[in-house]
Amino acid sequence: MRAAERPPSFHVRSHVKRHQYAELVAAQAAAGQPYLEFIRTEPMSIGFYVLPAGGTDSQQPHSEDEVYVVMAGIALFTARTETREVASGDVLYVEAGVPHRFHDIAEELHLVVVFAPPET
C-alpha cells in the first residue's frame, strides 16, 4: 500500500532517522557552536562539527572511541605523532584516550562525528 493510499489512522514506525547534510549545516550555523549533537542513543552519539579555514581545533582526548567522516574541506589531522592530510570522503577512527586534532585547515572542515559510547 502506498503512503497516499493509507488511511489517516495507519502509522508506520520508522527505525531509521534521516538527516540531510544541508539541514545539518544550517542547524549548526544557527546554534552558533562548532559542534552540534543530533543523535544520542544508549550505545552512541553523533554530531556535526565545523572548523573554519585557518581555525583551531582545541579538543582534548575523549574517553570514547570516535569515527570522523569528512564531509567537506581540507586539513591536516594528527593523532599522537602521526599526521596526514584529510579531505572530503575520508573516514578516520580514533581510539579512546588518543590525543588528536585537526590543524592547518585550508578549507572549512565539515565532519560527522560518531562517539561510542555517547560523548560525556
CATH number for 51: 2.60.120.10
pLDDT value at residue 109: 98
What residues make up the domain containing 69? 34-116
pLDDT value at residue 4: 53
Is there a domain that residue 29 lies in?
no
Is there a domain that residue 6 lies in?
no
* Cis, peptide link before residue 117, omega less than 30° from 0: yes
pLDDT value at residue 1: 45
pLDDT value at residue 15: 82
pLDDT value at residue 13: 62
How many structural domains are present in the chain? 1
Is there a domain that residue 88 lies in?
yes
Q: What is the pLDDT of residues 18-48, one digit of tens each?
A: 999 999 999 999 999 999 999 999 999 999 9
Is there a domain that residue 57 lies in?
yes
Positions of the chain with pLDDT under 50 = 1, 6, 9
Report strand pairing: 35-40 vs 82-87. Answer: unpaired
pLDDT value at residue 116: 97
Is there a domain that residue 93 lies in?
yes
Is there a domain that residue 7 lies in?
no
Residue 21 half-sphere exposure toward CB, CA atoms < 13 A: 8
Report d(CA 9, CA 28) in Å as an integer. Answer: 35
